[in-house]
Amino acid sequence: MAKQSSIADHDFQLNIDGNVYAFDSTTIDLCLSVFWWAEFRKTKGGIKLHILYVIKTSIPSFIHISSASVHDVNVMDFLHYEPGGYYIFDRAYIDYNRLFKIHKNSAFFVARAKDNIKFRRMYSNKVCKENGVLLDQIGKLKGFYVSKKYPEKLRYIKFFDEETNNELEFLSNNFDLTSEEIAKLYKYRLKVELFLKWIKQHLKIKSFWGTSLNAVKIQIYSAIIAYCLVALVRNKLKIDRSTYEILQILSISLLDKTPIKELLTNQNYKDVKELYGNQLKINWN
């Protein structure tokens, strides 16, 4: 329901019919002497928050809280892949068995390839190097075991990003989008990082309400529910601001008696910046 109720993010400029998701996680550090159940390392505690984020509407659609020691790829097993949907991953999620599962569910993925990838080219698409695309190849993975895990054809794209002066390699099972669109899709993955930074900012350890696992989960879910409610208000009132801008305005106007629509359209807040706005610049390292 939240996906249908949220208005589209004006930042998303690709003409793609299916939903676009980005999957990522973050570790929330906890003091082991206080949160004794969150053992991570000998002297460090923590839990891991996994989020499947809807890029077009800027809201989460799946949340999972695990031990901090759980590897990210394991949580992919909990995802339900929507036919026609697009799923964006960084290279921490490169697992060919799990990527092939996405393919078998008639969904698409865009993932950053690992440096040691072995790829056998079958043929190449034409590229425009002026747009940063260095290679666009169709082929299969090399290696006995790897080729068994993902036996179908894949698309391998090499892209040069002028802003960061980095060369990037992508894998995808989509053969219809242009190579430039594949690169742009991956760039939108950073929106989930922005969301995770917002969550962590609102979960300072000294402000946790309780020390049990259940208390920590309740506070995490409360922060995410607050975020989703703001997204719904944004849609209902047709506010032409980002969710993060609205959250910033509300945080400094909690005792203000001004009607909420008037508050959010007040020109005095025209210079409100998005939280961590500079994070929208790509850091490929």
The reply to whether 22 and 59 lie within a common domain is yes
The reply to whether 133 falls in a domain is: yes
What is the pLDDT at residue 209?
Answer: 73
Of residues 3 and 153, more confidently modeled: 153
Residues 74 and 119 in one domain: yes
Residue 116 belongs to domain spanning? 2-196
> Is 143 among the domain residues?
yes
CATH number of residue 190's parent domain: 3.90.350.10
- CA–CA gap between residue 24 and residue 44 (Å, rounded): 22
> Which stretches of 85-165 are assigned E, i.e. beta strand?
86-89, 108-112, 119-124, 133-141, 154-161
Q: 116-130, 143-157, 195-209, 253-267: which range is least confident on average? A: 195-209
* Calpha distance 125→117 (Å, rounded): 20
Q: Using the predicted structure, report yes or no on whether residue 214 has a pLDDT greater than 70.
A: yes
Tell me, yes or no, whether 19 and 145 share the same domain. Answer: yes
- Rounded CA-CA distance 57/138 in Å is 32
Residue 28, domain member (yes or no): yes
Confidence at residue 10, expressed as pLDDT on a 0 to 100 scale: 58
Shared domain check, 72 and 147: yes
Cβ atoms of 65 and 48 within 8 Å: the answer is yes
Q: What is the pLDDT of residue 172?
A: 96
Mean pLDDT of 240-250: 79
What are the φ and ψ backbone dihedral angles of 156, each rounded to 5 degrees?
A: -120, 120
pLDDT, tens only, 5-62:
444 555 677 888 889 999 999 998 888 888 888 888 877 888 999 999 999 888 899 9
Phi first, then psi: what are they for 205, rounded to 5°? Answer: -60, -40
Angle between helices 213-236 and 243-251 (to 10 degrees): 110
Distance, CA of 166 to CA of 168 (rounded, Å): 6
Q: What is the percentage of the chain residues whose pLDDT exceeds 90?
A: 44
Q: What is the pTM of this model?
A: 0.83
Helix (H, G, I), strand (E, B) or coil at 22: strand
Task: Give me the mean pLDDT over the 216-242 stretch.
Answer: 84
- pLDDT recorded at residue 283: 46
CA distances from 271 to 241, 245, 276 (A): 11, 10, 14
Phi, psi values for residue 92, rounded to 5°: -65, -20
Q: How many domains does the chain have?
A: 2
Instruction: Compute the average pLDDT of residues 98-118.
Output: 94
pLDDT reported for residue 62: 94
pLDDT reported for residue 219:
84
